[in-house]
Amino acid sequence: MAKIDMGRSRFKIQRRLGVELPGLGKAGALERKPYGPGQHGMARKKMSDFTIRLVEKQKVMFNYGLREAQMRNYVKKSKKIKTMSWVDAMIITLESRLDNVVFRLNWAPSTPGARQLVSHKHIKVNGKTVNVPGFMVKPNDVIEISDKGAKTASYLQAKVRPRISSIPAFLTKEASGEKEKAKMVAKPLAEDIPFAFEKRLVIEYYWKVK
């Protein structure tokens, strides 16, 4: 699986987009420097309509660690759902990804960290090891971390310094010895997205995608 390009500082990404993205795992990006990176970061820039829409969809891409091709696939699948706004359907799907669920449980300090736990076979769903980060977790599914996974630096770091202080309402967790297990008790809501963004702008950016 191709890796997301994180060559740029995660602080700089968040400063450029003007929002803190929990999935990147770096808190405080806008506290000391609430403006864009670079020597002209404090200068006011007039953005085109296209750039404004681009920034909004990049917030979603970076927080969930997606490539553009993956994002478009989610858009296409979500547009086939007629019971709600497609962008709401997409956010619900992204929140249901196993790597995101592991992150939202505070078992990893970032989405990439959660993806690594999954890929290295440290996560079980309903008693079976799942190593696919994009696996869709469903209501009543039980998620567990392996004994080995509970000893990883990523897990231990997240326990000491959780990126988000509380877990969302669609998840519950309980201690199981020295580690934890959790359950998805309901489908996520579109409102569970952990950062502010304008749905309308994402809809406008992908209006041509069928």
Single out the residue of 19, 24, 46 nearest to residue 34, CA to CA.
19
Check if the beta carbon of residue 66 is closer than 8 Å to that of residue 4: yes
Check if the beta carbon of residue 206 is closer than 8 Å to that of residue 90: no
The upper half-sphere exposure of residue 18, i.e. CA atoms within 13 Å in the direction of its Cβ, equals 13
Q: Which CATH class is domain 94-190?
A: alpha beta
Check if the beta carbon of residue 71 is closer than 8 Å to that of residue 139: no
150-168 in b/e form (b: 16+ CB < 10 A) is bebebbebbeeeebeeebb
Residue partners of 75: CB distance under 8 A and separation at least 6: 86, 90, 206, 209
- Residue 44 clears pLDDT 50, i.e. is over it: yes
Check if the beta carbon of residue 91 is closer than 8 Å to that of residue 190: yes
| Sign of the CA dihedral running 52, 54, 56, 58 | negative
How do residues 70-120 score in pLDDT, each as one tens digit?
Answer: 999 999 999 999 999 999 999 999 999 999 999 999 999 999 999 999 999
Per-range mean pLDDT, top range of 24-38, 44-58, 100-114, 173-187: 100-114
How do residues 150-180 score in pLDDT, each as one tens digit?
Answer: 999 999 999 999 999 899 999 999 866 667 8
Q: Which CATH class is domain 10-81+196-205?
A: mainly alpha
Domain boundaries, the chain: 10-81+196-205, 94-190
